[in-house]
Homo-oligomer: A and B are copies of this chain.
Amino acid sequence: MTIDSRPVFSKVALIGIGLIGSSMAHAIKRGGLAAHVAGYANDPGTLEKARAIGFADSLHDTLQLAVRDADLVVLATPVGAFGALAKEMAPDLKRGAILSDVGSVKTAVVRDVGPFVPDHVHLIPAHPIAGTEQSGPEAGFAELFDGRWCILTPPPGVDAHALDTLKTFWQRMGSQVEIMDPKHHDLVLAITSHVPHLIAYNIVGTAADLETVTESEVIKYSAGGFRDFTRIAASDPTMWRDVFLNNREAVLEMLTRFNEDLNLLQRAIRWGDGDMLFNLFTRTRAIRRSIIDAGQDSAEPNFGRAKKKP
Protein backbone atom coordinates (compact mmCIF):
# COMPACT_ATOMS: atom_id res chain seq x y z
CA MET A 1 0.00 0.00 0.00
CA THR A 2 1.29 3.43 -0.91
CA ILE A 3 0.27 6.45 1.11
CA ASP A 4 -1.41 9.01 -1.11
CA SER A 5 0.00 12.44 -0.45
CA ARG A 6 -1.71 14.45 -3.19
CA PRO A 7 -4.27 17.08 -2.15
CA VAL A 8 -7.89 15.88 -2.35
CA PHE A 9 -9.18 19.41 -2.94
CA SER A 10 -7.74 22.66 -4.28
CA LYS A 11 -9.65 24.75 -1.76
CA VAL A 12 -11.61 23.83 1.36
CA ALA A 13 -13.80 26.47 3.03
CA LEU A 14 -14.51 25.94 6.72
CA ILE A 15 -17.62 27.86 7.70
CA GLY A 16 -17.06 28.06 11.42
CA ILE A 17 -13.62 27.65 13.02
CA GLY A 18 -14.32 26.49 16.55
CA LEU A 19 -13.15 23.17 17.99
CA ILE A 20 -14.19 21.09 14.97
CA GLY A 21 -13.43 23.61 12.21
CA SER A 22 -9.98 24.42 13.56
CA SER A 23 -9.20 20.73 14.14
CA MET A 24 -10.16 20.08 10.52
CA ALA A 25 -7.81 22.85 9.40
CA HIS A 26 -4.96 21.29 11.39
CA ALA A 27 -5.73 17.80 10.05
CA ILE A 28 -5.99 19.08 6.46
CA LYS A 29 -2.57 20.70 6.80
CA ARG A 30 -1.09 17.60 8.41
CA GLY A 31 -2.34 15.39 5.58
CA GLY A 32 -1.70 17.86 2.76
CA LEU A 33 -5.37 17.45 1.79
CA ALA A 34 -5.95 20.89 0.28
CA ALA A 35 -3.83 23.54 -1.38
CA HIS A 36 -5.83 26.28 0.33
CA VAL A 37 -7.81 26.28 3.58
CA ALA A 38 -10.19 29.20 3.99
CA GLY A 39 -11.84 29.94 7.32
CA TYR A 40 -14.99 31.94 8.00
CA ALA A 41 -16.29 33.36 11.28
CA ASN A 42 -18.66 36.22 11.97
CA ASP A 43 -16.96 37.10 15.26
CA PRO A 44 -13.86 39.36 14.94
CA GLY A 45 -12.37 37.91 18.13
CA THR A 46 -12.54 34.38 16.69
CA LEU A 47 -10.88 35.52 13.47
CA GLU A 48 -8.18 37.25 15.47
CA LYS A 49 -7.41 34.07 17.46
CA ALA A 50 -7.38 31.99 14.28
CA ARG A 51 -5.01 34.42 12.63
CA ALA A 52 -2.62 34.22 15.59
CA ILE A 53 -2.61 30.39 15.50
CA GLY A 54 -2.24 30.36 11.71
CA PHE A 55 -4.11 27.20 10.72
CA ALA A 56 -5.85 28.82 7.70
CA ASP A 57 -4.47 30.21 4.46
CA SER A 58 -7.15 32.87 4.39
CA LEU A 59 -9.69 34.11 6.93
CA HIS A 60 -12.95 35.84 6.10
CA ASP A 61 -15.85 37.62 7.71
CA THR A 62 -17.92 37.35 4.53
CA LEU A 63 -19.24 34.06 3.20
CA GLN A 64 -18.89 35.11 -0.42
CA LEU A 65 -15.09 35.32 -0.27
CA ALA A 66 -14.75 32.24 1.89
CA VAL A 67 -16.66 29.85 -0.37
CA ARG A 68 -15.51 31.33 -3.73
CA ASP A 69 -13.80 28.60 -5.81
CA ALA A 70 -13.96 26.10 -2.94
CA ASP A 71 -14.31 22.44 -3.98
CA LEU A 72 -15.45 21.54 -0.48
CA VAL A 73 -17.48 23.80 1.79
CA VAL A 74 -18.03 22.55 5.34
CA LEU A 75 -20.65 24.00 7.68
CA ALA A 76 -19.06 23.85 11.13
CA THR A 77 -21.14 26.24 13.21
CA PRO A 78 -23.93 25.20 15.60
CA VAL A 79 -26.59 23.50 13.44
CA GLY A 80 -29.22 26.15 14.17
CA ALA A 81 -27.32 28.51 11.86
CA PHE A 82 -27.00 26.14 8.88
CA GLY A 83 -30.15 27.16 7.00
CA ALA A 84 -29.36 30.87 6.93
CA LEU A 85 -25.74 30.23 6.00
CA ALA A 86 -26.71 27.91 3.14
CA LYS A 87 -29.19 30.43 1.81
CA GLU A 88 -26.63 33.24 1.87
CA MET A 89 -23.76 31.29 0.33
CA ALA A 90 -25.78 29.47 -2.36
CA PRO A 91 -25.21 31.95 -5.22
CA ASP A 92 -21.44 31.86 -4.64
CA LEU A 93 -20.92 28.09 -4.52
CA LYS A 94 -18.68 26.74 -7.27
CA ARG A 95 -20.15 24.46 -9.93
CA GLY A 96 -19.50 20.83 -8.89
CA ALA A 97 -18.53 21.74 -5.34
CA ILE A 98 -19.35 19.47 -2.39
CA LEU A 99 -21.34 21.12 0.39
CA SER A 100 -20.96 19.21 3.63
CA ASP A 101 -21.13 19.83 7.36
CA VAL A 102 -20.07 18.40 10.72
CA GLY A 103 -23.38 18.75 12.57
CA SER A 104 -24.45 16.25 15.24
CA VAL A 105 -27.90 15.83 13.69
CA LYS A 106 -28.58 14.90 10.11
CA THR A 107 -32.29 14.94 9.16
CA ALA A 108 -32.47 18.59 10.22
CA VAL A 109 -29.50 19.39 7.97
CA VAL A 110 -31.25 17.88 4.96
CA ARG A 111 -34.42 19.80 5.94
CA ASP A 112 -32.72 23.16 6.55
CA VAL A 113 -29.92 23.17 4.00
CA GLY A 114 -31.38 21.04 1.21
CA PRO A 115 -33.79 23.66 -0.20
CA PHE A 116 -30.94 26.15 -0.82
CA VAL A 117 -28.46 23.84 -2.55
CA PRO A 118 -28.07 24.67 -6.26
CA ASP A 119 -28.45 21.76 -8.68
CA HIS A 120 -24.81 21.96 -9.63
CA VAL A 121 -23.63 21.43 -6.02
CA HIS A 122 -23.42 18.06 -4.22
CA LEU A 123 -24.89 18.09 -0.72
CA ILE A 124 -23.35 15.30 1.38
CA PRO A 125 -23.97 15.75 5.12
CA ALA A 126 -21.30 14.34 7.44
CA HIS A 127 -20.74 13.86 11.15
CA PRO A 128 -17.32 13.12 12.60
CA ILE A 129 -17.94 11.45 15.99
CA ALA A 130 -15.19 13.31 17.79
CA GLY A 131 -14.83 16.24 20.11
CA THR A 132 -13.76 17.48 23.49
CA GLU A 133 -15.51 19.61 26.09
CA GLN A 134 -13.59 22.65 24.91
CA SER A 135 -14.57 25.11 22.22
CA GLY A 136 -13.13 27.91 20.10
CA PRO A 137 -10.32 28.04 17.50
CA GLU A 138 -7.65 27.54 20.17
CA ALA A 139 -9.15 24.18 21.18
CA GLY A 140 -8.45 22.45 17.86
CA PHE A 141 -5.75 19.85 17.18
CA ALA A 142 -4.89 17.68 14.18
CA GLU A 143 -5.34 14.31 15.93
CA LEU A 144 -8.97 14.85 16.96
CA PHE A 145 -10.37 12.59 14.23
CA ASP A 146 -7.76 9.83 14.36
CA GLY A 147 -9.37 6.45 14.85
CA ARG A 148 -12.85 7.98 15.25
CA TRP A 149 -15.77 7.30 12.94
CA CYS A 150 -17.15 9.80 10.45
CA ILE A 151 -20.72 9.11 9.31
CA LEU A 152 -21.81 10.34 5.87
CA THR A 153 -25.53 10.57 5.07
CA PRO A 154 -25.66 11.12 1.29
CA PRO A 155 -29.09 11.73 -0.25
CA PRO A 156 -30.53 9.17 -2.69
CA GLY A 157 -28.96 9.51 -6.13
CA VAL A 158 -25.84 11.25 -4.86
CA ASP A 159 -23.01 11.68 -7.35
CA ALA A 160 -20.77 8.64 -6.85
CA HIS A 161 -17.53 10.50 -7.55
CA ALA A 162 -18.37 13.27 -5.08
CA LEU A 163 -19.22 10.71 -2.40
CA ASP A 164 -16.01 8.83 -3.05
CA THR A 165 -13.97 12.01 -2.84
CA LEU A 166 -15.48 13.03 0.50
CA LYS A 167 -14.95 9.52 1.82
CA THR A 168 -11.28 9.62 0.83
CA PHE A 169 -10.96 13.05 2.43
CA TRP A 170 -12.23 11.85 5.83
CA GLN A 171 -10.15 8.69 5.68
CA ARG A 172 -7.06 10.78 5.11
CA MET A 173 -8.18 13.00 8.02
CA GLY A 174 -7.56 9.87 10.13
CA SER A 175 -11.13 8.60 10.38
CA GLN A 176 -13.06 5.47 9.52
CA VAL A 177 -16.04 6.24 7.31
CA GLU A 178 -19.56 4.81 7.50
CA ILE A 179 -22.53 5.53 5.23
CA MET A 180 -25.91 5.80 6.96
CA ASP A 181 -29.47 6.93 6.48
CA PRO A 182 -29.95 10.34 8.19
CA LYS A 183 -32.91 9.16 10.26
CA HIS A 184 -31.00 6.17 11.56
CA HIS A 185 -28.00 8.38 12.28
CA ASP A 186 -30.16 10.58 14.47
CA LEU A 187 -31.46 7.59 16.41
CA VAL A 188 -27.96 6.14 16.93
CA LEU A 189 -26.54 9.47 18.05
CA ALA A 190 -29.51 10.11 20.35
CA ILE A 191 -28.42 7.16 22.48
CA THR A 192 -24.63 7.36 22.05
CA SER A 193 -24.30 11.10 22.43
CA HIS A 194 -27.38 13.27 22.88
CA VAL A 195 -29.10 11.58 25.82
CA PRO A 196 -25.74 11.05 27.59
CA HIS A 197 -25.12 14.79 27.28
CA LEU A 198 -28.63 15.59 28.47
CA ILE A 199 -28.39 13.50 31.63
CA ALA A 200 -24.91 14.84 32.33
CA TYR A 201 -26.16 18.42 32.06
CA ASN A 202 -29.14 17.42 34.17
CA ILE A 203 -27.30 15.87 37.10
CA VAL A 204 -24.86 18.75 37.27
CA GLY A 205 -27.86 21.09 37.43
CA THR A 206 -29.55 18.96 40.10
CA ALA A 207 -26.40 18.92 42.22
CA ALA A 208 -26.03 22.69 41.96
CA ASP A 209 -29.59 23.31 43.12
CA LEU A 210 -29.68 21.19 46.29
CA GLU A 211 -30.26 22.91 49.60
CA THR A 212 -29.08 19.98 51.76
CA VAL A 213 -25.68 19.64 50.08
CA THR A 214 -23.62 22.74 49.27
CA GLU A 215 -22.03 23.41 45.91
CA SER A 216 -18.67 23.48 47.66
CA GLU A 217 -19.26 19.91 48.90
CA VAL A 218 -20.28 18.77 45.45
CA ILE A 219 -17.02 20.17 44.08
CA LYS A 220 -14.78 18.78 46.84
CA TYR A 221 -16.15 15.26 46.67
CA SER A 222 -16.65 15.09 42.91
CA ALA A 223 -13.98 12.40 42.42
CA GLY A 224 -16.56 9.80 43.44
CA GLY A 225 -17.98 9.87 39.91
CA PHE A 226 -19.67 13.25 39.52
CA ARG A 227 -16.59 14.89 37.97
CA ASP A 228 -16.88 12.64 34.89
CA PHE A 229 -20.31 14.14 34.17
CA THR A 230 -19.09 17.70 34.57
CA ARG A 231 -16.67 17.23 31.68
CA ILE A 232 -19.52 16.44 29.30
CA ALA A 233 -21.68 19.13 30.89
CA ALA A 234 -18.96 21.68 30.07
CA SER A 235 -19.57 21.28 26.33
CA ASP A 236 -20.58 24.25 24.20
CA PRO A 237 -24.07 25.49 25.24
CA THR A 238 -25.12 26.87 21.83
CA MET A 239 -24.08 23.76 19.97
CA TRP A 240 -25.96 21.51 22.38
CA ARG A 241 -29.08 23.66 22.53
CA ASP A 242 -29.26 23.33 18.75
CA VAL A 243 -28.74 19.56 18.89
CA PHE A 244 -31.70 19.06 21.21
CA LEU A 245 -33.95 21.44 19.28
CA ASN A 246 -33.09 19.62 16.05
CA ASN A 247 -33.26 15.99 17.13
CA ARG A 248 -36.40 16.21 19.21
CA GLU A 249 -38.18 12.96 18.28
CA ALA A 250 -35.18 10.65 18.57
CA VAL A 251 -34.01 12.24 21.84
CA LEU A 252 -37.49 12.02 23.37
CA GLU A 253 -37.81 8.40 22.29
CA MET A 254 -34.46 7.41 23.81
CA LEU A 255 -35.20 9.44 26.93
CA THR A 256 -38.43 7.50 27.38
CA ARG A 257 -36.47 4.24 27.31
CA PHE A 258 -33.93 5.64 29.75
CA ASN A 259 -36.70 6.69 32.14
CA GLU A 260 -38.46 3.35 31.99
CA ASP A 261 -35.25 1.56 32.85
CA LEU A 262 -34.41 4.02 35.59
CA ASN A 263 -37.82 3.48 37.17
CA LEU A 264 -37.09 -0.23 37.36
CA LEU A 265 -33.75 0.46 39.05
CA GLN A 266 -35.39 2.87 41.47
CA ARG A 267 -37.91 0.18 42.39
CA ALA A 268 -35.12 -2.40 42.82
CA ILE A 269 -33.37 -0.09 45.26
CA ARG A 270 -36.59 0.66 47.15
CA TRP A 271 -37.41 -3.05 47.55
CA GLY A 272 -33.84 -4.19 48.09
CA ASP A 273 -33.62 -6.34 44.96
CA GLY A 274 -29.86 -6.90 45.03
CA ASP A 275 -29.88 -9.57 42.31
CA MET A 276 -31.47 -7.26 39.78
CA LEU A 277 -28.84 -4.59 40.51
CA PHE A 278 -25.98 -7.09 40.43
CA ASN A 279 -27.08 -8.56 37.11
CA LEU A 280 -27.29 -5.16 35.41
CA PHE A 281 -23.95 -4.03 36.84
CA THR A 282 -22.32 -7.20 35.50
CA ARG A 283 -23.77 -6.81 32.00
CA THR A 284 -22.63 -3.22 31.64
CA ARG A 285 -19.03 -4.13 32.45
CA ALA A 286 -18.82 -6.19 29.24
CA ILE A 287 -19.79 -3.23 27.05
CA ARG A 288 -16.90 -1.19 28.40
CA ARG A 289 -14.52 -3.96 27.36
CA SER A 290 -15.98 -4.01 23.83
CA ILE A 291 -15.47 -0.26 23.48
CA ILE A 292 -11.84 -0.57 24.51
CA ASP A 293 -11.36 -3.54 22.16
CA ALA A 294 -12.88 -1.45 19.34
CA GLY A 295 -10.25 1.25 19.94
CA GLN A 296 -12.86 3.82 20.96
CA ASP A 297 -11.49 4.52 24.45
CA SER A 298 -8.36 4.22 26.54
CA ALA A 299 -7.93 1.02 28.57
CA GLU A 300 -6.12 2.93 31.28
CA PRO A 301 -7.94 3.30 34.61
CA ASN A 302 -9.69 6.66 34.94
CA PHE A 303 -9.15 7.27 31.20
CA GLY A 304 -5.45 7.57 32.00
CA ARG A 305 -6.00 10.68 34.09
CA ALA A 306 -2.68 11.56 35.69
CA LYS A 307 -2.02 9.17 38.55
CA LYS A 308 -0.01 11.82 40.35
CA LYS A 309 -1.40 14.66 42.40
CA PRO A 310 -2.74 17.25 39.94
Contact = CB atoms under 8 A, between A and B. Distances in A.
A221 B192 contact: yes
Nearest to A204: B284
B230 A288 contact: yes
Contacts of A178: 220
A202 B287 contact: no
A132 B188 contact: no
Tell me how many chains of this kind the complex includes.
2
A309 B149 contact: no
A310 interface: yes
A10 interface: no
Interface in A204-261: 204-210, 212-213, 215, 217-235, 237-238, 240-242, 244-245, 248, 251-252, 254-255, 257-259, 261
Nearest to A243: B277
B283 A208 contact: yes
Interface stretch (A44-52, A61-69, A152-160, A264-272): A264-272
B248 A201 contact: no
Nearest to A282: B237
Interface string A171-200: 000100010000000011101111111111
Contacts of A235: 281
A174 B307 CA distance: 12
A58 interface: no
A277 B219 CA distance: 22
A284 B233 contact: yes
Interface of A: 104, 129-134, 139, 141, 143-144, 146-149, 151, 174, 178, 187-189, 191-210, 212-213, 215, 217-235, 237-238, 240-242, 244-245, 248, 251-252, 254-255, 257-259, 261-262, 265-266, 268-270, 272, 274, 277-278, 280-285, 287-291, 294-298, 301-310
Given A132-B301, A219-B294, 14 more contacts: A129-B221, A131-B224, A143-B307, A188-B213, A191-B206, A191-B207, A192-B207, A196-B203, A222-B296, A222-B297, A227-B291, A234-B285, A245-B269, A303-B304
